[in-house]
Each structure stands twice: as C-alpha cells, then as structure tokens.
C-alpha cells in the first residue's frame, strides 16, 4: 500500500488479556516508531526501530510492553496483562532515514480495556 497500515483499527479487550497490534510501514522505510496517544493529548514516544534493530525503547511504560520488527518491515506491539490505563490510541509511523526526519503515520489502533 501507499501509506502506513495498522490493524486492527479498534480493539476491545478485558483487563488481564494480552493484545497484539500490527504495523505495516511504507515499503523501503528503514525507521519505524510506536507512539501512545491519550485522549486530548499529543503522541508520546514508545519505541524506535532502525531496520530490525530496536534502537530506543525508553518510552515503553512497563515490561508488559514489548515490540518487535524481526525482518525489518512489519512490526508488532504486544501488551501483556492489559490494564485500564493502557486504553489509548497506538500510532505507528515510518520514515526513510533517522528519527529527526518527517514521519508518516498510520491511522492508529484504538485500544479499549474493559
């Protein structure tokens, strides 16, 4: 596809369940980023990949959050033992070079934890 694709668009889970969010970046983009956006707030950085290497995971809020990009293209953000405060929109972005350059965003996954 032409843009960044995220799936699912909406996810409802019960507290304690594990969830997996998928991001398909723009073909050829080496950089991939995950953000968490709470209602009425700006995106907050979670983690950053350059190809398959996770260069920065300083924004992951706890060890329940895990991201991978094993082949340097598609990425998955996994949240284990979900809690209500994990409810947010999770945005994925990709870029053609480093983290300082413009990023192309997907439409996000809206996660609701009941």
Partner 1 sequence: SQQGEEDPQALSIQEGENATMNCSYKTSINNLQWYRQNSGRGLVHLILIRSNEREKHSGRLRVTLDTSKKSSSLLITASRAADTASYFCATASSTLTFGKGTMLLVSP
Shortest Å, Cβ 90 to partner 1: 11
Closer residue to partner 1 (CB): 9 or 81:
9
Closer residue to partner 1 (CB): 92 or 113:
92
Residues engaged in binding partner 1 (CB under 8 A): 4, 33, 35, 40-45, 48, 56, 59, 91, 93, 99-108
Closer residue to partner 1 (CB): 43 or 69:
43
Residues near 22 by beta carbon (within 8 Å), at least 6 away in sequence: 6, 7, 8, 74, 75, 76
Tokens 């369940």 -> residue: 17
52: left (phi over 0), alpha (psi -120 to 50) or beta: alpha
Closer residue to partner 1 (CB): 4 or 19:
4
Shortest Å, Cβ 98 to partner 1: 9
Shortest Å, Cβ 84 to partner 1: 21
Shortest Å, Cβ 14 to partner 1: 24
């Amino acid at each position: 596809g032409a843009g960044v694709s995220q799936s699912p668009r909406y996810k409802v889970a019960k507290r304690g369940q594990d969830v997996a969010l998928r991001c398909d970046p723009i073909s050829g983009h080496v950089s991939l980023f995950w953000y968490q956006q709470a209602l009425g707030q700006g995106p907050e950085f979670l983690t950053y990949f350059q190809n398959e290497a996770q260069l920065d995971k300083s924004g992951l809020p706890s060890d329940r959050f895990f991201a991978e990009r094993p082949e340097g293209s598609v990425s998955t953000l996994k949240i284990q033992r979900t809690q209500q405060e994990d409810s947010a929109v999770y945005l994925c972005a990709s870029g053609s070079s480093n983290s300082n350059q413009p990023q192309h965003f997907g439409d996000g996954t809206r996660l609701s934890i009941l």
